[in-house]
A = this chain, B = another copy of it.
Amino acid sequence: MNEPTGLRARKKARTRDAIADAAVSLFLEHGFDRVSVNDVAAAAETSKPTLFRYFPTKEDLVLHRFADHQGEAARVVRERRSGTKPMTALRRHFRGGLDRYDPVTGLNDHPEVVAFHRLVFTTPSLAGRLTRYQLEDEEVLAEALGEGVRGRVRAAQVLAVQRVLARVNWQKIADGRTARDVHPEAVADADEAFGLLR
Protein backbone atom coordinates (compact mmCIF):
# COMPACT_ATOMS: atom_id res chain seq x y z
CA MET A 1 0.00 0.00 0.00
CA ASN A 2 2.77 2.44 0.84
CA GLU A 3 5.58 3.45 -1.49
CA PRO A 4 8.61 1.25 -2.03
CA THR A 5 10.96 2.10 0.80
CA GLY A 6 14.44 1.99 -0.71
CA LEU A 7 17.39 3.82 0.75
CA ARG A 8 16.92 6.69 -1.64
CA ALA A 9 13.31 7.26 -0.68
CA ARG A 10 14.01 6.93 3.04
CA LYS A 11 16.81 9.47 2.97
CA LYS A 12 14.89 11.91 0.83
CA ALA A 13 12.01 11.79 3.27
CA ARG A 14 14.39 12.32 6.15
CA THR A 15 16.04 15.30 4.47
CA ARG A 16 12.68 16.81 3.75
CA ASP A 17 11.58 16.35 7.33
CA ALA A 18 14.83 17.75 8.67
CA ILE A 19 14.40 20.89 6.59
CA ALA A 20 10.74 21.33 7.44
CA ASP A 21 11.27 20.73 11.14
CA ALA A 22 14.25 23.06 11.35
CA ALA A 23 12.26 25.71 9.50
CA VAL A 24 9.14 25.55 11.61
CA SER A 25 11.00 25.45 14.88
CA LEU A 26 13.17 28.42 13.93
CA PHE A 27 10.16 30.37 12.67
CA LEU A 28 8.20 29.68 15.83
CA GLU A 29 11.12 30.75 17.95
CA HIS A 30 12.18 33.92 16.13
CA GLY A 31 9.41 34.80 13.71
CA PHE A 32 9.12 34.11 10.00
CA ASP A 33 10.81 37.28 8.80
CA ARG A 34 13.66 37.26 11.24
CA VAL A 35 14.93 33.88 10.03
CA SER A 36 16.65 33.62 6.66
CA VAL A 37 16.57 30.56 4.44
CA ASN A 38 20.31 30.37 5.02
CA ASP A 39 19.64 29.91 8.71
CA VAL A 40 17.15 27.16 7.96
CA ALA A 41 19.50 25.38 5.60
CA ALA A 42 22.30 25.58 8.14
CA ALA A 43 20.11 24.25 10.94
CA ALA A 44 18.95 21.40 8.72
CA GLU A 45 22.54 20.70 7.68
CA THR A 46 21.87 21.00 3.98
CA SER A 47 22.78 23.54 1.31
CA LYS A 48 20.53 26.27 0.04
CA PRO A 49 19.99 24.72 -3.41
CA THR A 50 18.98 21.48 -1.74
CA LEU A 51 16.49 23.31 0.42
CA PHE A 52 14.94 24.90 -2.65
CA ARG A 53 14.85 21.57 -4.44
CA TYR A 54 12.47 20.37 -1.74
CA PHE A 55 10.47 23.54 -1.20
CA PRO A 56 9.90 26.02 -4.03
CA THR A 57 9.63 29.07 -1.78
CA LYS A 58 10.33 30.12 1.77
CA GLU A 59 6.63 30.14 2.49
CA ASP A 60 6.30 26.53 1.48
CA LEU A 61 8.62 25.58 4.29
CA VAL A 62 5.67 26.30 6.50
CA LEU A 63 2.73 25.60 4.25
CA HIS A 64 3.70 22.15 3.08
CA ARG A 65 1.60 20.84 5.93
CA PHE A 66 -1.42 22.26 4.20
CA ALA A 67 -0.08 21.28 0.83
CA ASP A 68 -0.14 17.69 1.99
CA HIS A 69 -3.91 18.03 2.11
CA GLN A 70 -3.97 19.46 -1.42
CA GLY A 71 -6.81 18.03 -3.42
CA GLU A 72 -8.17 16.12 -0.47
CA ALA A 73 -11.66 17.47 -0.92
CA ALA A 74 -11.64 16.56 -4.59
CA ARG A 75 -10.47 13.06 -3.74
CA VAL A 76 -13.17 12.63 -1.15
CA VAL A 77 -15.76 13.46 -3.75
CA ARG A 78 -14.25 11.25 -6.39
CA GLU A 79 -13.88 8.26 -4.11
CA ARG A 80 -17.25 8.42 -2.42
CA ARG A 81 -19.34 5.27 -2.54
CA SER A 82 -21.86 5.34 -5.34
CA GLY A 83 -25.18 6.46 -4.00
CA THR A 84 -23.61 9.01 -1.68
CA LYS A 85 -24.10 12.63 -2.59
CA PRO A 86 -20.93 14.77 -2.85
CA MET A 87 -21.99 17.11 -0.07
CA THR A 88 -22.71 14.29 2.31
CA ALA A 89 -19.31 12.77 1.62
CA LEU A 90 -17.61 16.09 2.30
CA ARG A 91 -19.59 16.72 5.47
CA ARG A 92 -18.78 13.26 6.77
CA HIS A 93 -15.13 13.71 5.96
CA PHE A 94 -14.96 16.98 7.84
CA ARG A 95 -16.80 15.43 10.73
CA GLY A 96 -14.20 12.66 10.76
CA GLY A 97 -11.49 15.28 10.94
CA LEU A 98 -13.15 16.84 13.97
CA ASP A 99 -13.42 13.49 15.71
CA ARG A 100 -9.73 12.80 15.07
CA TYR A 101 -8.84 16.34 16.18
CA ASP A 102 -7.11 16.77 12.86
CA PRO A 103 -5.08 20.01 12.90
CA VAL A 104 -6.62 21.16 9.60
CA THR A 105 -9.99 21.46 11.30
CA GLY A 106 -8.54 23.96 13.76
CA LEU A 107 -9.77 21.70 16.57
CA ASN A 108 -6.44 20.79 18.15
CA ASP A 109 -4.99 22.17 21.33
CA HIS A 110 -1.45 20.84 21.15
CA PRO A 111 0.69 23.88 21.95
CA GLU A 112 2.82 23.42 18.84
CA VAL A 113 -0.22 23.21 16.62
CA VAL A 114 -1.76 26.32 18.14
CA ALA A 115 1.49 28.24 17.84
CA PHE A 116 1.83 27.01 14.29
CA HIS A 117 -1.58 28.32 13.33
CA ARG A 118 -0.87 31.65 14.94
CA LEU A 119 2.33 31.84 12.93
CA VAL A 120 0.48 31.20 9.69
CA PHE A 121 -2.42 33.53 10.35
CA THR A 122 -0.38 36.44 11.66
CA THR A 123 2.33 36.42 9.00
CA PRO A 124 0.97 38.24 5.94
CA SER A 125 3.07 36.52 3.34
CA LEU A 126 2.06 33.14 4.77
CA ALA A 127 -1.61 33.90 4.99
CA GLY A 128 -1.46 35.24 1.46
CA ARG A 129 0.17 32.22 0.01
CA LEU A 130 -2.18 29.94 1.90
CA THR A 131 -5.19 31.39 0.11
CA ARG A 132 -3.40 30.70 -3.18
CA TYR A 133 -3.23 27.06 -2.18
CA GLN A 134 -6.89 27.06 -1.39
CA LEU A 135 -7.69 28.50 -4.81
CA GLU A 136 -5.96 25.58 -6.48
CA ASP A 137 -7.78 23.22 -4.19
CA GLU A 138 -10.96 24.88 -5.25
CA GLU A 139 -10.28 24.29 -8.92
CA VAL A 140 -9.76 20.55 -8.63
CA LEU A 141 -12.73 20.25 -6.35
CA ALA A 142 -14.78 22.13 -8.93
CA GLU A 143 -13.79 19.61 -11.57
CA ALA A 144 -14.74 16.72 -9.33
CA LEU A 145 -18.07 18.38 -8.63
CA GLY A 146 -19.09 18.78 -12.24
CA GLU A 147 -18.78 21.07 -15.23
CA GLY A 148 -19.75 24.68 -15.48
CA VAL A 149 -20.34 27.47 -13.06
CA ARG A 150 -22.43 25.28 -10.87
CA GLY A 151 -19.47 23.15 -9.83
CA ARG A 152 -17.23 26.10 -9.29
CA VAL A 153 -19.66 27.82 -7.03
CA ARG A 154 -20.28 24.69 -5.04
CA ALA A 155 -16.56 24.20 -4.63
CA ALA A 156 -15.97 27.75 -3.51
CA GLN A 157 -18.76 27.47 -0.98
CA VAL A 158 -17.55 24.21 0.47
CA LEU A 159 -14.02 25.44 0.94
CA ALA A 160 -15.21 28.72 2.36
CA VAL A 161 -17.24 26.81 4.90
CA GLN A 162 -14.28 24.65 5.90
CA ARG A 163 -12.08 27.72 6.18
CA VAL A 164 -14.50 29.51 8.42
CA LEU A 165 -15.09 26.50 10.60
CA ALA A 166 -11.38 25.93 11.07
CA ARG A 167 -10.87 29.57 11.90
CA VAL A 168 -13.65 29.62 14.46
CA ASN A 169 -12.38 26.47 16.13
CA TRP A 170 -8.85 27.74 16.26
CA GLN A 171 -10.00 31.05 17.73
CA LYS A 172 -11.77 29.35 20.61
CA ILE A 173 -8.71 27.28 21.34
CA ALA A 174 -6.40 30.24 21.03
CA ASP A 175 -8.59 31.80 23.74
CA GLY A 176 -7.51 29.04 26.06
CA ARG A 177 -10.20 26.37 25.80
CA THR A 178 -9.44 22.71 25.23
CA ALA A 179 -10.22 20.84 22.06
CA ARG A 180 -12.32 18.31 23.92
CA ASP A 181 -14.37 21.10 25.42
CA VAL A 182 -14.93 22.80 22.08
CA HIS A 183 -15.70 19.62 20.17
CA PRO A 184 -19.52 19.62 20.56
CA GLU A 185 -19.82 23.21 19.42
CA ALA A 186 -17.54 22.47 16.49
CA VAL A 187 -19.77 19.60 15.43
CA ALA A 188 -22.88 21.77 15.78
CA ASP A 189 -21.27 24.58 13.81
CA ALA A 190 -20.24 22.15 11.09
CA ASP A 191 -23.76 20.72 10.84
CA GLU A 192 -25.27 24.16 10.62
CA ALA A 193 -22.75 25.46 8.09
CA PHE A 194 -22.94 22.43 5.84
CA GLY A 195 -26.71 22.55 6.21
CA LEU A 196 -26.69 25.97 4.60
CA LEU A 197 -25.12 24.47 1.52
CA ARG A 198 -28.35 22.86 0.38
Residue of B7, B10, B46 touching A7 (CB-CB under 8 A): B46
Residue of B nearest to A50 (CB): B7
A45 within 8 A of B: yes
A47 within 8 A of B: yes
Q: How many copies of this chain does the complex contain?
A: 2
**How many residues of chain A have a CB within 8 Å of chain B?**
6
Q: In the complex, what residues of B have CB within 8 A of residue A7's CB?
A: 45-47
Question: From residue 41 to 93 of chain A, which have CB atoms closer than 8 A to chain B?
Answer: 45-47
| A14-49 vs B, Cβ < 8 Å mask (1 yes, 0 no) | 000000000000000000000000000000011100
Determine how close the nearest CB of chain B comes to the CB of A76; give it in whole angstroms.
37
Residue of B10, B45, B47 touching A45 (CB-CB under 8 A): B10
Residue of B nearest to A7 (CB): B47
Determine how close the nearest CB of chain B comes to the CB of A4; give it in whole angstroms.
15
| A133-155 vs B, Cβ < 8 Å mask (1 yes, 0 no) | 00000000000000000000000
Q: In the complex, what residues of B have CB within 8 A of residue A10's CB?
A: 45
Determine how close the nearest CB of chain B comes to the CB of A37; give it in whole angstroms.
15
Measured in the bound complex, the distance between the Cα atoms of B10 and A49 in whole Å is 18
Residue of B nearest to A42 (CB): B7
Measured in the bound complex, the distance between the Cα atoms of B45 and A10 in whole Å is 9
Measured in the bound complex, the distance between the Cα atoms of B37 and A25 in whole Å is 38
Determine how close the nearest CB of chain B comes to the CB of A139; give it in whole angstroms.
39
Residue of B nearest to A45 (CB): B7
Q: In the complex, what residues of B have CB within 8 A of residue A45's CB?
A: 7, 10-11
5 nearest A-B pairs in the assembled complex, by CB-CB distance = A7-B47, A7-B45, A7-B46, A10-B45, A11-B45
